[in-house]
Structure 1
């Protein structure tokens, strides 16, 4: 008697030797259970052949090795992502400045800051 139980009726299995093949047979429901490769062996015997040699076992699983990362050689020295640009110059040779809103600050030829042209409400109405 083997320690295995039938999945259908929970009866015990009995191992029977048929043509050199061990077959598990249930003692209660007479169900036949085959292990891996036993059906192919029985089919080859039924076809008039002999018992085929056992199939080769698959190779054991070997986990792949992690490749070691190697940084490729740099042909040029690595440049910083943002390169410093030379400052822009206005027509008088002074650096261009910007206010906090990104608008260009303009200066006159004497270095005085130009006033922004404003909006006058009276320009809308024509008072002559």
Structure 2
């Protein structure tokens, strides 16, 4: 059985939606295919940008988990995550957070290992 999960990131301030296709036991969300489409959101003017290397991502579901973890950090305005390169580009307010907090948020998922590039 094949199911499609549509995740909208509009509620997170990201102007994009991702579609994930899952099969069989993975339909519960433990693993998904690559996202059908994603748009890179620009880093807002006045934001500080940081690039993180994220190890352990294999699919679109991983991208969503990393984006969700990063967007939950107070002060983060944008989180562009690329499963192909293993890089997360993050825009944030430096008066509210820092790179160490971004790395900790990703590492706190217990699924991925992040480090500053």
TM range, smaller chain: under 0.3
Asked which structure has the greater RCO (Cα within 8 Å, sep 6+), the reply is: 2
Q: TM-score, normalised by structure 1?
A: 0.21
Per residue, is there more helix in 1 or in 2? 2
Rg larger in 1 or in 2?
A: 1
